[in-house]
Amino acid sequence: MAGLMLAALVACDPGPGRGQLADLRERGELHVLTRNAPTTWYEDRDGPAGPEYEMIESFAAHLGVEVRYELAGSVGDILQRVAAGEADIGAAGISRTLERGSNVRFGPVYQEVEQQVVCRRGGASPQTAEELVGLSLRVPAGTTYARRLQRLADEHPGLEWAAAQGQTTEQMLAAVWRREIDCTIADSNIVDINRRYFPELNVMFSLGEPDHFAWVLPPAASGLHAELRLWFRGFERDGGLDAVMERYYGFVELFDYVDMRAFQRRIEQRLPQYRPIFEQAGERYGFDWTLLAAQAYQESHWDPHARSPTGVRGMMMLTQRTAAAMGVNNRLDARESIMGGARYMQRLYRWLDEEIEEPDRTWVTLAVYNIGMGHFRDAQMLARDLGRNPHSWPDLRETLPLLAQPEYYQATRYGYARGSEPVRYVQRIRDYQDVLVRRLEPGER
- Give the residue among 135, 136, 144 at the shortest CA–CA distance from 116: 144
Cα separation, 393 vs 285, in Å, equals: 22
Instruction: State pTM to two decimals.
Output: 0.61
Element (H, E) at 210: strand 201-213
pLDDT averaged over every residue in the chain:
87
pLDDT at 123 over 60: yes
Mean per-residue pLDDT for 156-177?
Answer: 88
Catalytic pick among 52, 54, 246, 299: 299
Q: Helix or strand or coil: residue 209?
A: strand
Give 294-329 as a DSSP string. HHHHHHHTT-TT-B-TTS-BTTTTB-HHHHHHTT-S
Cα separation, 348 vs 334, in Å, equals: 21
What single-letter amino acid sits at 339?
M
pLDDT at position 357 is 94
Give 60-126 as a DSSP string. HHHHT-EEEEEE-S-HHHHHHHHHTTS-SEE-SSPBP-HHHHTTSEE----EEEEEEEEEETTS---
299 as an active site residue: the answer is yes
List the beta bridge partners of residue 6: 69
Confidence band for 254, pLDDT divided at 50, 70 and 90 = low
pLDDT at 387 over 80: yes
Query: What does the pLDDT look like over 349-377, one tens digit per residue?
Result: 999 999 999 999 999 999 999 989 999 99
Say how far residue 392 (Cα) sits from the centre of its chain. 18
Cα separation, 415 vs 405, in Å, equals: 10
Query: What does the pLDDT look like over 31-82, one tens digit per residue?
Result: 999 988 878 887 765 578 889 999 999 999 999 999 999 988 888 899 999 9
In terms of Cβ atoms closer than 10 Å to its own Cβ (0-12, 13-18, 19+), residue 144 is: buried
* Most trustworthy range by pLDDT among 99-103, 187-191, 261-265, 386-390: 386-390
Q: Tell me the domains of the chain and their CATH numbers.
A: 4-109+214-249 (3.40.190.10), 112-212 (3.40.190.10), 257-444 (1.10.530.10)
Confidence band for 310, pLDDT divided at 50, 70 and 90 = low
Mean per-residue pLDDT for 235-239?
Answer: 92
Cα separation, 189 vs 366, in Å, equals: 25
Confidence band for 304, pLDDT divided at 50, 70 and 90 = very high
Q: Are 392 and 246 in contact (CB under 8 A)?
A: no
Mean per-residue pLDDT for 100-107?
Answer: 93
What single-letter amino acid sits at 338?
I
Mean per-residue pLDDT for 311-317?
Answer: 89
Cα separation, 428 vs 103, in Å, equals: 42
pLDDT at position 16 is 37
Q: CA-CA distances (angstroms) from residue 15 to 30, 93, 317, 428?
A: 14, 26, 62, 49
- Give the residue among 255, 126, 252 at the shortest CA–CA distance from 181: 126
* Most trustworthy range by pLDDT among 2-16, 40-54, 192-206: 192-206
Q: Are 335 and 284 in contact (CB under 8 A)?
A: no
Mean per-residue pLDDT for 1-30?
Answer: 57
Mean per-residue pLDDT for 165-175?
Answer: 86
pLDDT at position 280 is 98
pLDDT at position 49 is 83
Cα separation, 279 vs 259, in Å, equals: 24
Cα separation, 362 vs 350, in Å, equals: 11
